[in-house]
Chain A
Amino acid sequence: MEGLSRIKVECRGVSAFYGETQALNEVNLSIYDHEVMALIGPSGCGKSTFLRSLNRMNDLVSGCRIEGEISLDGEDIYGRGMDVTRLRTRVGMVFQKPNPFSKSVFENVAYGPRIHGMASNRSELEGIVETSLRRASLWEEVKDRMKQPGSSLSGGQQQRLCIARAIALNPEVILMDEPCSALDPIATARIEELIAELRGSYSLVVVTHSIQQAARISDRVAFFHLGKLVEDGLTGDIYNDPKDDRTLGYITGRFG
């Protein structure tokens, strides 16, 4: 697998600081094209911080400093020439709690394309919206409810709406921060199905606190502990034959 796919995102020596506290310590990780990478580890181990540094959302947290190098297709995303707003159209994010805008379903998905001028007329925009909703496997459920507010959907539908919103910008990488933790098991299953489908078009990095979920959805897994990347590799390898004791301990549920 490694030989066939390209590296999409390369992280070298990444450390993160909130003021004086260090949250990430010299993380080296590669994320490949068209794969699902799961980030696992006990709470507070830095996986969310790491995720946020991939689309520079940490810039919004005052006092947060990132060191090291993160490159997207070889370009340093913290470099001078990188326009953050452009970066985020290439690296999208879905949050833990669904957060649709207080607008209609259509407007929610259309927001991204609108501000980035991706459509030159109304029908193009509608096309983008429909495509995104289809890819998020939400189209059938909302095609008659496009004008209703986003908040009128169920929890699982809202989360798929947020996914559609991110997809609308045609990203290359989609980051997901515990996307199912606020959802019931049925909705969770649907999202997991969706992730499997999306793998064909995008690279996905999913933070999850559920070891089982990671095993189900991911191609590769990275285990974080106390700000350090302890171990990463193919899912099967990590689960059947972890090289580090800490990894074994976490996977078998001894801690975390």
Chain B
Amino acid sequence: MGLVVWLSYYLGRLMRVGGTFRGGYYLGLLGVTFCVPVLVAVLLWRWDVSIFLLKFLGDGEVLLPGVNEDILEIWLYSKVIAGSGVGMLPGVDEVMLADLESRLLGLYGLVSVVGGVLLVVLGFCGVLGGMRRLYLGKEALVLSEGLVLKLLRCGSVVAIATSFLIVFSLVFESWKFFRYVSLGDFFLGLHWEPQLLFESEGEVEKEVFGILPVLWGTLAIAMIAMMIAIPIGLLSAIYLNGYAGVRVRSWVKPILELLAGIPTIVYGFVAVLVVAPFFHRWGEQLGFSSEPNNALAAGVVMGMMIVPFVSSFADDALNEVSLSVKYASYALGATRGETMMRVMLPAAFPGIASGVLLAASRAIGETMIVVMAAGLVAKFSWSPFDGLTTITVQIVALLVGDTSFDGPKTLSAFALGLTLFFLTLILNVLAFWIMKRYREPLV
């Protein structure tokens, strides 16, 4: 493939189309454009993808007689298990599997070769076609630039595609879930105990997939986190903006930013090892209902992690308040405190509000800290020392481990994910709307 590129470049160079040297360069570009799919195909072309193709072609009956989807699944599963070193599945015909494997490999090889040849041919055709167009007088530069533009446009589309994919896959899987459990039962139900499904096989306990207790836990822990983050974050921003000198600012601000840069598992680790037991003991002493994995630990640690979100936004917002207004306040004989509280904070309020909303969105979507330090059982407890569970914890708990892909338990995770997505979406949209609408035009 590199050969094709190099060849086309050289050919173009030799021909000196249009009297300019550029022709060859752009010819090479054309060659590359057609060879890119070849590259992609080679990278992705593995037995896994050929399986996907086989499924596509209808259970592989066409290409491999006697093979249907179930057998393929078993073979795939055995491959997965083989990788983890646990040993072979009992009761599986190893000979048959080996035979299947060799035939699959043969098929894979055949298709690879055929595909490769086809694509090389295509590549050459593309190059030849490009050369012909050059002879017809079309400016090679414009041509290749057009191609480059299209390529870049395709790349950009990925951003949109991702959003679309997220919504689509969440909705699709959730829709499958809502065939088992009605919307009402999910959004208004008061019990969340998916583990109960194990006992009642087949028949889905309608009472078991109510999101409300999980929602309660999510909001409660997020609220604890915000109660820590807002005061500390806001006051820090006030200090940095109104009282700190340039030198102090230069090392304090990065340290606060550091809080946001630490991976969340580290916070979770500390939360579960040190903070949770501490609160558990304290809660017991105070006579509250208390658990070793408790909401307070998760909330407090999460709150500290979120501080930089609030403080950064608040600091930026305060900085944007025009210096002239600040001076006007001082010229009227106000103290730093009065200027800050009466003039600057009100002026910076939209920016601060956005920051708070975004921080809240982060708190709701946070996973690792709660997975490690909060509880697993969904309940409507008022005691912060109790273990509450969140949407993110449940998603992880339901999907980690070997689970059947289409059972209602697994699918419920997607319904949870959909809810989470919309919750954070609303908060984010609100935050951006506030920024847009109330931003003071820079005087």
Contacts and interface: CB of A to CB of B under 8 A. Distances in A.
Q: Do A's and B's CB atoms come within 8 Å in the complex? A: yes
Interface of A: 55, 57, 60, 62, 84-89, 92-93, 95, 97, 99, 101-103, 111-112, 115-116, 162, 165-166, 169
Interface of B: 245-246, 322, 324-325, 327-335, 338, 342-343, 346-347, 440, 443
B346 A93 contact: no
- By secondary structure, the B interface counts as helix
Contact of B334 (A62, A85, A92, A166): A85
Given A92-B332, A112-B333, A116-B333, A62 B246 contact: yes
Nearest to B334: A115
Contact of A60 (B246, B324, B330, B443): B330
Contacts of A55: 331
A49 to B, nearest CB: 14
A99 B333 contact: no
Given A101-B343, A102-B440, A112 B332 contact: yes
20 contacts: A57-B327, A60-B330, A62-B246, A84-B333, A85-B334, A88-B331, A88-B332, A89-B333, A95-B328, A99-B324, A99-B327, A99-B328, A102-B325, A102-B346, A111-B329, A111-B334, A112-B332, A115-B338, A162-B328, A169-B332
A97 B332 contact: no
Contacts of B245: 62
A86 B327 CA distance: 16
B350 to A, nearest CB: 10
B329 A101 contact: yes
Nearest to B246: A62
Contacts of A89: 332-333
Nearest to A87: B333
B347 A102 contact: yes
B331 A111 contact: no
A213 B338 CA distance: 36
Contacts of A166: 331-332
A195 B346 CA distance: 32
Contacts of B324: 95, 97, 99
The 9 residue pairs across chains A and B that have the minimum distance between CB atoms: A88-B333, A93-B331, A99-B324, A85-B333, A112-B332, A89-B333, A99-B328, A102-B347, A99-B325
B154 to A, nearest CB: 45
B443 A97 contact: yes
Nearest to B347: A102
A103 B344 CA distance: 11
Nearest to B349: A102
A86 to B, nearest CB: 7
A112 B246 CA distance: 29
> Most chain-A CB neighbours within 10 Å: which of B325, B328, B338, B343?
B328
A169 B333 contact: yes
A209 B278 CA distance: 68
Contacts of B343: 101, 111
Nearest to B331: A93
A48 to B, nearest CB: 12
> Most chain-A CB neighbours within 10 Å: which of B329, B330, B335?
B330
B335 A85 contact: yes
B376 to A, nearest CB: 48
A103 B329 CA distance: 13
B327 to A, nearest CB: 7
Contacts of B328: 93, 95, 99, 101, 162, 165
